[in-house]
Chains A and B, each alone.
Chain A
């Protein structure tokens, strides 16, 4: 593969803010989300969920529920098990770190291990009736002691989150390189922090949902799921239902946001698919927001105990420590979050020696799986908090200590001693981190801030500024499938295993393909997230789809283009080099009347019995690609937050946020900005607002959007985004992912700024989010009681 990125200026679509192909339907209310799908004869499902964080189930009696008029079925695991090859979802990513097997059951049978775990499903003529009947299902629970806190879960004598389990240690591993203890022994300065980052949710505006319809004529089951990974869902459902591939089709309709939790498969998907087969009628389940709070996976609860060793100038000699990760009640994905957190922590800096021990603790809470950022915000928070402390103690400017430690631009590509979860060496491929940080500092007026801060303090106002850097592994491989096909009609059909969830995937692919095949995006029809259209796929996660699917689309389109030109040169009796594809036709440059339509080219190679195919390159105008890219493309950036804190009320406002970043080439600058802005808003939520509360019995207590606060338009500060473009040599487009970048450094930058604002009070920030109550307690622990 050549690594020469095409120059944006030479392209007509790629690199430009072309209109999105998704908008025409969405803006008129004509999108088709999963809840908009209503096949004739549709039945509706409601799940009965555990009200206990931990309990044994003595008895489930469904008789009263079944007797309610309009109820078609009430199903428990005992009813489903005979039709399943396994009653568990075995979905854990491979890792040697596991210490317990924690595969989620399709439905709980003898024990519930978190509030919200599904115990039974009611299928009825309406959702109202299904919920009425669910209330009539009698379950005798014997409550068991719950464990809600991940650190307490690992303490000696902690109650087991799963009855009879020897401990709550789900997994443990150590990531290390260099002689870290020797580095600490010899170091003149050491700094330590105890930090906690809090669990939250992704809260896509559309919750999850499933519609399943069994076609008895074709003996085929079609399942629409609001998911980021339709092919993974297809594989799991085929396995569990014992279906051959062609007997099941999974379709991702329009998805109203994903942000991580929709990348895994859920019990409800299995139950609804099976129920439709058993009942012979279509069945729909739409998660409501209350269920989303207790049944959709969450992330971020981690407690870090970390140390930094530096020389007298603040240069990093070593980093070591341990973290406890809240795994939740089941392994719904793996140990990828804490591993991602620990991998992200040192990534922006030259860290000669490093050791971090991870323990993942089982708790009686909904399982944790990636939420936008996937561990990286936590790792960055830990690193940046340590650097702030070192800067303060050593009397070095916070930006300066970072400048001394960032991987310098002239050392790119920089082979780190770190390994990815697949065991591959982490090589920072491109970029100039110090220069990127300087862009943000200059734009934010970092150098002049002490003057502003001083003036504000004179009038009783507490301003603060903070900075945080990140490097993000994007574009996780190994591949994404894309096919490009010019139909005999001349229409260009692109099918992919990539899944759209609002991040403009259709536009991205239409742009890349149209660039090579005539420049008219309206002629390109993109099918994303349909297992009947793409034989394989991985889907949406890890800021990967533009990198992987984009590369495959680009290469497939180039292959089709080459064939089109070759055949057209035969048909037009002209040299290939004299031809261009414009709109719906191939024409001779400078002689526009000498042309042949794409439709005619496609028909010419569609095959006529007894006649040779013109051009000698075989039939059809199609190419299918799975460009394999194992190495991740490392994007980077810097956030600078300026805040004002009211020391009386604890109210903290972000006054300005400056974000510089480098994602290589931008396929669509406006979409890049949009992705960053969404992430930045999420990061502000993680820093100040989003608090998923549980009581001591692991009962969730913030289960509405009135309790769990998402950032609204009035909390958003003025945001300035600055771009650097260091194309990665790892893919033919020179791009890096950008879907998660915005969220990663923002909590760390805001924490730093709040600490700076409250420096007259000697405040030390060790956790996020920080509510006004938390901030008042930081200022005056005694007054806060």
Chain B
């Protein structure tokens, strides 16, 4: 029951090596072992999307992935999305558009959308709605999140041009 393994993974560009119980999911590992509490758990059954992190660049529900499965992977959490000097354009746009209220779903929204805008730099509003249709928010009614994402997409296209 308490079987554990040693894993090595990069989180937000920093290499970590740690012991983890084989039954521990990635979100608990990130929050507990590494102290990265920005990843939130809202349902632990893969529906709410709050725990979404990027694993090798892909958005993944950290409650549905075991920590041992992340051995050898590169993980990005909300703490690695922007820097103190420069917020990610999504983060700046969420602040400007009141895209967060309680902030609990926000890390999962941002990681989901960070991947989405990488792949879809010029989305329609409908595209954005579909992209976050696996992320639940009880505060905002989503419109402000969609507006923020459209602005972030514009900013990122402008920066890339």
Chain A residues with CB under 8 Å of chain B are 19-20, 22-24, 26-33, 35-36, 38, 128, 132, 202-207, 254-257, 259, 288-289, 501-504, 670-671, 673-674, 677-682, 704-706, 710-714, 716, 719, 742
Tell me if A681 and B141 are in contact (CB < 8 A).
yes
Tell me if B142 and A681 are in contact (CB < 8 A).
yes
- By a CB distance below 8 angstroms, the chain B residues around A38 are 32, 35
B31 to chain A, nearest CB (A): 8
Judged by a CB distance under 8 angstroms, whether B29 is at the interface is: no
Tell me if B41 and A257 are in contact (CB < 8 A).
no
Tell me if B45 and A259 are in contact (CB < 8 A).
no
- By a CB distance below 8 angstroms, the chain A residues around B136 are 205, 705, 710, 712
Tell me if A205 and B102 are in contact (CB < 8 A).
yes
- By a CB distance below 8 angstroms, the chain A residues around B142 are 677, 681, 712-713, 716
- By a CB distance below 8 angstroms, the chain B residues around A22 are 103
Tell me if B138 and A203 are in contact (CB < 8 A).
yes
Tell me if A680 and B141 are in contact (CB < 8 A).
yes
Tell me if B48 and A205 are in contact (CB < 8 A).
yes
Taking a contact as CB atoms closer than 8 A, the residue among A254, A670, A713 that contacts B98 in the complex is: A670
Residue of A nearest to B44 (CB): A288
Tell me if A28 and B78 are in contact (CB < 8 A).
yes
- By a CB distance below 8 angstroms, the chain A residues around B38 are 28-31
What is the bound-complex CA distance between A714 and B142, given in angstroms? 9
Name which of B65-73, B87-95, B153-161 contacts chain A.
B87-95
What is the bound-complex CA distance between A102 and B139, given in angstroms? 33
Taking a contact as CB atoms closer than 8 A, the residue among A30, A31, A205 that contacts B138 in the complex is: A205
Are A256 and B37 also in contact (CB < 8 A) when A28-B82, A682-B138 are?
Answer: no
Judged by a CB distance under 8 angstroms, whether B24 is at the interface is: yes
- By a CB distance below 8 angstroms, the chain B residues around A711 are 141
Are A714 and B133 also in contact (CB < 8 A) when A128-B23, A206-B42, A705-B47 are?
Answer: yes
Q: Among the interface residues B38, B78, B141, which one has the most CB atoms of the partner chain A within 10 A? A: B141
What is the bound-complex CA distance between A670 and B143, given in angstroms? 12
Judged by a CB distance under 8 angstroms, whether B75 is at the interface is: no
Taking a contact as CB atoms closer than 8 A, the residue among A29, A257, A288, A712 that contacts B133 in the complex is: A712
Judged by a CB distance under 8 angstroms, whether B101 is at the interface is: yes
Tell me if B143 and A677 are in contact (CB < 8 A).
yes
Chain B residues with CB under 8 Å of chain A are 1, 21, 23-24, 31-32, 35-45, 47-48, 50, 77-79, 81-82, 87, 91, 94-95, 98, 100-107, 110, 128-130, 132-146
Tell me if B23 and A205 are in contact (CB < 8 A).
no
What is the bound-complex CA distance between A30 and B103, given in angstroms? 10
What is the bound-complex CA distance between A681 and B39, given in angstroms? 25
- By a CB distance below 8 angstroms, the chain B residues around A206 are 40, 42, 102, 104
Q: Among the interface residues B78, B87, B139, B140, which one has the most CB atoms of the partner chain A within 10 A? A: B139
- By a CB distance below 8 angstroms, the chain B residues around A29 are 36-39, 77-79, 81, 107
A704 to chain B, nearest CB (A): 5
Can you list 19 contacts pairing A with B, beta carbon distance less than 8 Å?
A26-B106, A27-B103, A28-B91, A29-B39, A29-B81, A31-B104, A33-B40, A38-B35, A128-B21, A204-B102, A205-B104, A205-B138, A256-B105, A257-B102, A288-B44, A704-B43, A710-B136, A713-B135, A714-B130
Are A674 and B102 also in contact (CB < 8 A) when A29-B79, A502-B139 are?
Answer: no
What is the bound-complex CA distance between A716 and B141, given in angstroms? 7
- By a CB distance below 8 angstroms, the chain B residues around A673 are 98, 144
Tell me if A678 and B133 are in contact (CB < 8 A).
no
Taking a contact as CB atoms closer than 8 A, the residue among B44, B47, B100, B134 that contacts A26 in the complex is: B100
Q: A128-B24, A289-B43, A719-B143 are in contact. List 8 more A-B contacts (CB 8 A).
A: A23-B94, A27-B87, A254-B103, A256-B40, A502-B102, A671-B98, A677-B141, A716-B142
Tell me if A713 and B106 are in contact (CB < 8 A).
no
What is the bound-complex CA distance between A673 and B139, given in angstroms? 11
What is the bound-complex CA distance between A680 and B143, given in angstroms? 11
Q: Among the interface residues A32, A38, A677, which one has the most CB atoms of the partner chain B within 10 A? A: A677
B141 to chain A, nearest CB (A): 3
A711 to chain B, nearest CB (A): 8
- By a CB distance below 8 angstroms, the chain B residues around A255 are 102
What is the bound-complex CA distance between A36 and B37, given in angstroms? 6
Tell me if A705 and B103 are in contact (CB < 8 A).
no
Tell me if B140 and A677 are in contact (CB < 8 A).
yes
What is the bound-complex CA distance between A355 and B98, given in angstroms? 43
Are A502 and B24 also in contact (CB < 8 A) when A29-B37, A205-B50 are?
Answer: no
A374 to chain B, nearest CB (A): 16
Tell me if B106 and A705 are in contact (CB < 8 A).
no
Are A716 and B48 also in contact (CB < 8 A) when A204-B102, A257-B104 are?
Answer: no
Tell me if A257 and B139 are in contact (CB < 8 A).
yes
Tell me if A20 and B95 are in contact (CB < 8 A).
yes
Taking a contact as CB atoms closer than 8 A, the residue among A289, A674, A682 that contacts B101 in the complex is: A674
A774 to chain B, nearest CB (A): 23
What is the bound-complex CA distance between A257 and B137, given in angstroms? 10
Are A19 and B43 also in contact (CB < 8 A) when A27-B100, A33-B104, A203-B138 are?
Answer: no
Residue of A nearest to B36 (CB): A29
- By a CB distance below 8 angstroms, the chain B residues around A27 are 87, 91, 94-95, 100, 103, 106, 110
- By a CB distance below 8 angstroms, the chain A residues around B78 are 28-29
Taking a contact as CB atoms closer than 8 A, the residue among A23, A289, A677 that contacts B42 in the complex is: A289
- By a CB distance below 8 angstroms, the chain A residues around B135 are 712-713
What is the bound-complex CA distance between A26 and B79, given in angstroms? 10
What is the bound-complex CA distance between A682 and B100, given in angstroms? 16
What is the bound-complex CA distance between A255 and B103, given in angstroms? 9
- By a CB distance below 8 angstroms, the chain B residues around A679 are 141
A122 to chain B, nearest CB (A): 15
- By a CB distance below 8 angstroms, the chain A residues around B45 are 289, 704-706
Residue of B nearest to A207 (CB): B42
Which 8 interchain pairs have the tightest Cβ spacing?
A29-B38, A502-B102, A256-B104, A26-B103, A677-B141, A29-B78, A681-B141, A36-B37
Residue of B nearest to A682 (CB): B138
Are A678 and B140 also in contact (CB < 8 A) when A33-B40, A712-B133 are?
Answer: yes
Residue of B nearest to A685 (CB): B138
What is the bound-complex CA distance between A206 and B41, given in angstroms? 7
Residue of A nearest to B80 (CB): A29
What is the bound-complex CA distance between A333 and B136, given in angstroms? 28
Are A31 and B43 also in contact (CB < 8 A) when A19-B95, A678-B138, A714-B130 are?
Answer: no
Tell me if B105 and A289 are in contact (CB < 8 A).
no
What is the bound-complex CA distance between A502 and B106, given in angstroms? 12
Are A713 and B144 also in contact (CB < 8 A) when A20-B98, A28-B91, A678-B101 are?
Answer: no
Taking a contact as CB atoms closer than 8 A, the residue among B21, B35, B94, B103 that contacts A256 in the complex is: B103
- By a CB distance below 8 angstroms, the chain A residues around B144 are 673-674, 677
What is the bound-complex CA distance between A36 and B31, given in angstroms? 8
Residue of B nearest to A289 (CB): B43
Residue of A nearest to B23 (CB): A128
- By a CB distance below 8 angstroms, the chain A residues around B77 are 29
Q: Among the interface residues B79, B128, B137, B138, which one has the most CB atoms of the partner chain A within 10 A? A: B138
B154 to chain A, nearest CB (A): 19
Residue of B nearest to A501 (CB): B102
What is the bound-complex CA distance between A711 and B45, given in angstroms? 17
What is the bound-complex CA distance between A677 and B98, given in angstroms? 11
- By a CB distance below 8 angstroms, the chain A residues around B87 are 27-28
- By a CB distance below 8 angstroms, the chain A residues around B91 are 27-28
What is the bound-complex CA distance between A713 and B138, given in angstroms? 11
What is the bound-complex CA distance between A678 and B140, given in angstroms? 5
Residue of B nearest to A707 (CB): B47
- By a CB distance below 8 angstroms, the chain B residues around A28 are 38, 78-79, 81-82, 87, 91
A521 to chain B, nearest CB (A): 14
- By a CB distance below 8 angstroms, the chain A residues around B103 are 22-23, 26-27, 31, 254, 256, 502
- By a CB distance below 8 angstroms, the chain B residues around A256 are 40, 42, 102-105
Tell me if B98 and A674 are in contact (CB < 8 A).
yes
- By a CB distance below 8 angstroms, the chain B residues around A203 are 138
Q: Among the interface residues A254, A256, A502, A714, which one has the most CB atoms of the partner chain B within 10 A? A: A256
